[in-house]
Amino acid sequence: MMGVAFYFQFVRELEPCPLCIFQRITVIAFGLVFLLAALHNPKGFGRRVYGLLGTAVALTGIGIAGRHLWLQHLPEDQRPACGAGLDYMLDIMPLNKVIHEVFTGSGECGEVVWRFLGLSIPGWTLIAFVGFLLFSLWVLFGRTAR
């Protein structure tokens, strides 16, 4: 997923909005959780801990992608105005204020710049996060080898 994100950013020159960046961070966090799980190769309780962490990260991603899709489906006259860039906000505001500003929306996050089979980038990301959630739940509740 990060390869596709970098392709859009550096080859297609689509600059990511703040919610896109938050989704990228969530994808990386999910990857790190399951990379650690693969390296650790836990059984029983340890496997469930990684499943729980993966579930939490996937639900976070679903929330971010869902918010992004919601902004994209607002009528243009109801979208929030474009705000400052994420880099600038991080320079001048505390992190909790930046997160609040990003989630209250930005007009640039409501713009659809690419579609495939009728879905925008956050739509496809939401589908991926649902897949991550299902996998995490399988790890969390599935039978474990003993």
Strand partners, 116: 119
**Cα distance between residue 22 and residue 45, in whole Å:** 30
Average pLDDT of the chain to the nearest whole number: 82
Residue 94's CB: how many other CB atoms inside 10 A? 9
Where exactly are the structural domains of the chain? Answer: 2-141
CATH number, span 2-141: 1.20.1550.10
Q: Please give the angle made by the CA atoms of 124, 16 and 34, to the nearest 5 degrees.
A: 55
**Cα distance between residue 52 and residue 48, in whole Å:** 6
Q: Which of 29-38, 103-112, 135-144 has the highest mean pLDDT?
A: 29-38
pLDDT digits 0-9 by tens, 23-80: 999 999 999 999 999 999 888 888 899 999 999 999 999 998 998 888 877 777 766 6
pTM value? 0.75
**Cα distance between residue 56 and residue 71, in whole Å:** 23
Torsion angle (degrees, nearest 10) of CA 32, 106, 62, 15: -50
Helix (H) or strand (E) holding 120, with range, is: strand 119-120
